[in-house]
Amino acid sequence: MDIERIHTPVMLERTIELLAPALEAEGAVLVDATLGMGGHSRAFLERFPKLTVVGLDRDTDALAIARERLAPFGDRARLVHTVYDGIAEAVRSEGYDEVRGVLFDLGVSSLQLDRAERGFAYSKDAPLDMRMDSTRGRTAADVIAESSEEELRRLFFEFGEEKLAPRYARAIVQARADAPITRSGQLVDIITKATPVAVQRQGHPAKRVFQALRIEVNEELAVLERAIPAALDLVAVEGRIVVLAYQSLEDRIVKRALQAAASSTAPAGLPMELPEHRPQFRLLVRGAELASDAEQAENPRAKPVRLRAAVRVRRPS
């Protein structure tokens, strides 16, 4: 496997630019909350010789690859097997109470997409797994087998924003009555047959259903709802957080959390803002930044990315 070919970190230089002012200090710690194969972490460790990275990932395959790639950095790279809502416990287990930087690169990784046997890709026939941590939890096949038609409809609509959710849920329930749906190819075939020809011309009909199943299997949105506030609590004064999101549901959660952290808590009508009500963070980018046209052309996985960032300006009294 050519890791350099399949794994090109998204918006790497912009991420470094935003986090750099917080990472120059002696003893600086960066949490790479979504380590993957270590592409972002390796770049940071190379760029900042005094930096320690605490890398988190639930995927044991990714951790094994990252551990090998980051081995030359010795104790400066500390890897923890955990879901990123366990960020506080992971950081404290490494002996730190706060950190200078946090990076989230959300969504499915290159490794998970490119290893057909993981079942994430609708373009490759494989067992319907989709677990980011293949050692535990329900698979996508379990969700398909155990969910009612109503539950599938809600799942596809809420997590996939799929307009044809009722049609797909009904087709799946009818198909599984004849035979278990255990492979991605089976599911793609069912969805394709249930999709009007005119809609098929607008893109792969299974894309949103596979997104919804992946989010459900890995509890991605619930985990993210817990993880961003926990990460913000860890950031030291003048420390920074950068988040890369790849679909609107993730980005909405990130946007709300960062905007709340960067807003005054003063009650409406108060004649003046007291110090304890002042925002704890300041947003570093206006809205959400996109990857450049050049990067999108070179790395297709950069096309949907939305980057948001903030710096801590004070801690509560």
In the annotated binding site for S-adenosyl-L-methionine, the residues are 38-40, 57, 84, 105, 112
CA R_g for the chain: 21
* Contact present, 139 and 214 (Cβ < 8 Å): no
Greatest CA span in the chain, whole angstroms? Answer: 68
Provide the 10 A C-beta neighbour count for residue 117.
Answer: 10
Distant-in-sequence, close-in-space partners of 150: CB < 8 Å, separation ≥ 6? 169
Three-class SS state of 310: strand
Q: Strand 235-245 and strand 99-105: pairing?
A: parallel
CA distance 121 to 15: 27
| Run of H or E residues at 105 | strand 99-105
Three-class SS state of 286: coil
Please report, in range form, the residues annotated as the binding site. 38-40, 57, 84, 105, 112
* Contact present, 208 and 156 (Cβ < 8 Å): yes
In this structure, which amino acid lies at residue 99?
V
CA distance 312 to 242: 12
Distant-in-sequence, close-in-space partners of 14: CB < 8 Å, separation ≥ 6? 289, 307
